Amino acid sequence: MDVALIGLIAMPLIAGLLSLAMRTRRSMERLQCAHAAVLLVAMSVVVMNVAEGSVITIGILLRADALSAFLDLMLAFVGATSLLYALGYMGEESTRGHVLHRRYRRFFCLFNLYLFAMLLAANVDNIALMWIAIEGSTLSAALLIGFERTKAALEAGWKYIILSFVGIALALFGTVLVYYASEHVLGVSMEALRWEDLYRVAAELNPTALKLAFVFVLVGYGTKAGVAPMHTWLPDAHGEAPAPVSAMLSGLMLNLALYAVLRFKSIVDRAVGADFTEPILLGLGLLSVAIAAIFLMVQRDYKRLFAYSSIEHVGIALVGFGIGGPVGVFGGLFHMFNHALAKSTAFYAAGMVMLRRGHKTIERVTGLVRQMPLVGGSMLLATLALAGMPPFGLFVSEVLIVTGAYGRGQWMAYVFLGLLAVAFATLLSQVFRMALGEPMEEGVPVTDRTRRFTASALVINLTAMVYSGTHMPGFLHDLFLPMTRLFGVTVEIP
């Protein structure tokens, strides 16, 4: 199982470097399909082993416990489908002559390095190396967001660079503060940066230093997670990035940033109690949902629409963690998982609409279901899931979080429900307008070769989405128990 973990992390790096040597579209397709298959196999081995109760540690650098394995599950699954999708999407761009082959190769190199940095961040057993890996993902994302080099894409990329570099610098300051506190207990050493040792001695760490550290880390990684009021880069970046990148940003990077916040929360909670972190997370979560609900109403661009919906869902997950207790923590984690599936599906579909119609204006898009049954249908289903309708997993987690909120305070639950209702109504009405009716424009259909990849990515994602909404897979169930224990609560999951 050591091999599986190393393979899982190293594969994207190897594939990324190899991509630069691929001379034809066909060889790139073979390489990336093999890459996706290896990712899925390695991830299954890691997840199955961790679900049986073991913690995989390799040397002093890598460690996969339940929370890491949970991240691996999302990163590898959505990563694999977005690789498939990217083969279609970028292949089409290259066939149409929008992207030269040299840049097509460079795209896959960056895309794989981005995935590599995220997988590394999720499994590294060291708070500072995690920071380095997350910074690495920020750097590759910065180039991917501006990849299309239009005015808007460059502007979005620049905003992303400035905001997330500042954010991540603040997170490093928080990390240094934790080290500053922990080296008094563990000495000037590598141990003072390791999760496992930090958990062990958390109760002895200086509480004031940890409180200060948590604020910096939350603002820092919160910027990457798109938490309001640091969210302003997010709609621009998600709107202007190529669709496979938007899917990765929304489905994976937001979760990775939340993961970093959660790791720090679990240490700070041991030192100062959850009473410090929970109200902050709750407040920021509600603010994010509120801001997203308002901006969803005024969107005219469908990719930005889904971007604001991501801010909403990050907010909902934060509300879950802010409520705390078994219901809140489980709800928040389950929400992250389902959001990754649904949002990546939505962006895959949005990218197909973009390829066909060549613009992103909601008002000019109608009749998607009739014109492109699979794409329109997927967009509709993903939107239903994102709006929180049964039978999808987001319905379950939202109900849990609302129940938890009711336990914390009635008025808060009503405010939260009200905001959810606004977001629900606007998101659905906007997408219904696009999906139903008669198509106004013919657009340019994609080639069959493209469709083969994009359709399989959509179908795999949809299947997983429906499946996880109706069943709780056994391995996921086994992961949740140790994960919630990390936050000092134990959940009995039916």
Q: What is the DSSP string of 422-442?
A: HHHHHHHHHHHHHHSS--S--
Rg (CA), the chain: 21
DSSP conformation letters of 330-387: HHHHHHHHHHHHHHHHHHHHHHHHHHHHS--BSTT---HHHHSHHHHHHHHHHHHHHT
Our finding on whether 242 is near another protein (CB under 8 A) is: no
Of 289 and 413, CB closest to another protein: 289
Binding mask 319-358 for another protein (x = CB under 8 A): ----------------------------------------
Q: Is 63 helix (H, G, I), strand (E, B) or coil?
A: strand
- The dihedral sign for the CA sequence 345, 47, 116, 336: positive
- Kindly report the length of the chain: 494
The whole-angstrom separation of Cα 258 and Cα 222 is: 7
Is 180 a binder of another protein (CB under 8 A)? yes
> Going by C-beta distance under 8 Å and a sequence separation of 6 or more, which residues neighbour residue 133?
117, 118, 120, 121, 124
Looking up tokens 């890996």 gives 133
Is residue 169 a contact residue for another protein (CB under 8 A)?
yes
Q: Which of 164, 468 has the CB closer to another protein?
A: 164
Site size for another protein (CB under 8 A): 50
**For residues 375 and 422, which CB has a smaller minimum distance to another protein in the complex?**
422
The label of the residue with tokens 């997983």 reads 464
Q: How far is the CB of 411 from another protein (least distance, A)?
A: 29
- Pairing mode, strands 56-58 and 62-64: antiparallel
- Residue 51 or 122: the one with the smaller Cβ distance to another protein is 122
In the list 240, 269, 312, 478, the residue contacting another protein (rule: CB under 8 A) is 240
Q: Does 361 bind another protein (CB under 8 A)?
A: no
- Judged by CB under 8 A, the chain residues 129 through 168 that form the site for another protein are 129, 131-132, 135-136, 139, 142-143, 146, 149-152, 154-159, 161-162, 165-166
Among 172, 293, 369, 384, binds another protein (CB under 8 A): 172
Question: Using CB under 8 A, which residues numbered 271 to 300 contact another protein?
Answer: 295, 298
Interface with another protein by CB under 8 A: which residues? 126, 128-129, 131-132, 135-136, 139, 142-143, 146, 149-152, 154-159, 161-162, 165-166, 169-170, 172-173, 176-177, 179-181, 183-184, 188-190, 193, 206, 208-209, 212, 235-236, 239-240, 295, 298
